[in-house]
Homo-oligomer: A and B are copies of this chain.
Amino acid sequence: MKDEAMALRDTHVTLAHGGGGQAMRDLIDEVFAAVFQPPGMEDQARLAPGALAEAGARLALTTDAFVVTPLEFPGGDIGKLAVCGTVNDLAVGGARPLWLSAAFIIEEGTEVALLRRLVATMAEEARAAGVRIVTGDTKVVGRGAADGVFITTTGVGVIPAGREVSTGQVRPGDVVIVNGVLGDHGACILAARGDLMLSTDLVSDCAALGHLMEAVLAAAPGVRAARDATRGGIAAVLNEIAGVAGVGIEIDEAAVPLRDEVRGVCEILGLDPLYLANEGRLVLFVPEDEAGAALAAMRTLPEGAGAVVIGRAVAAHPGQVRMRTLFGGSRIVDMLVGEQLPRIC
């Protein structure tokens, strides 16, 4: 039986907290369950399907493991990332996020206070995004067997009947929109690691984009496709869409929104900002006649305040992304083969 007086007094996680015994129960009850308030005491959440049971609705399911380092950075932490990243994967497919699960892999020696901070962030972000964290898991591994904390979130959402937002639908003539300045997250993480001795005021763009997608879809129901531009940046997303849809994509360097600080970090380090990760930025493909409505709707929300057109889909050079440069030339924006920045999310 649980002795209330023996409740979690440890300041650091030990292997005992992963062992299936009372120490694990204490950690789960006090750090996780107390904040997430999942329904019931079972290992599984049991939920009324609600909107999923409506005629024509589809269920969306997506998962992401988060391994970012450092665990806390300007503008967020791995907990915020884990909630926003999965909410965004649901949202860009036209799904309304309903429920999340969260599985933690924790290195022995991790501070309990850090876990409490991460869990608090997750609860706050989930509330703001209108999603519930309904179930979870905790594993502890020995020192050196993981680096701090890894969090895997899985999201369930509902795609309402008749809604189809899909990369395969992009057609020549569609306008390419982003919701704000690019590369802040990647540059911020790079600076936060400290090993480059960069001092910046950059803050991660990490944000949940579910409300933004709903606003866009209400104003511009013809939206063809959306993708959040995380690992590999907008370059990876645009290349993937060009390949799947069989269209060419042209973007205009002068129109790509970048902070001077991000430009500066990229110049110093020889990085291309198009490949920098974002955690609160999406790329939208919208039919030309709905582009104005989409932009206007986005700009009503803070996470869409910086929305701009950066290019369009074309019939020429299918599968290829090209950028008109500031000097009037044109260059191919290829998919990176390798790795620009490990553990960015």
Contact = CB atoms under 8 A, between A and B. Distances in A.
A339 B48 CA distance: 36
Interface string A41-56: 1111111110011100
Given A152-B103, A167-B41, A135 B63 contact: yes
B2 A339 contact: no
A20 B231 CA distance: 5
A291 interface: no
A340 B19 contact: yes
Q: Majority SS of interface residues in chain A?
A: mixed
Contact of A147 (B1, B145, B319, B341): B145
B41 A89 contact: no
A110 interface: no
Interface residues of A, number: 92
A89 B44 contact: yes
A60 B89 contact: no
A320 interface: yes
A18 interface: yes
Nearest to A227: B43
Number of copies: 2
B21 A43 contact: no
Given A15-B342, A320-B1, A339-B21, A49 B60 contact: no
A273 interface: no
B64 A339 contact: no
A60 B41 contact: no
Interface string A128-165: 00000011111111101111001010101101000000
A41 to B, nearest CB: 5
A224 to B, nearest CB: 13
Nearest to A345: B139
Contacts of A66: 139
Sorted from nearest, which 5 A-B pairs have the closest CB atoms?
A20-B232, A20-B231, A19-B339, A21-B336, A154-B154
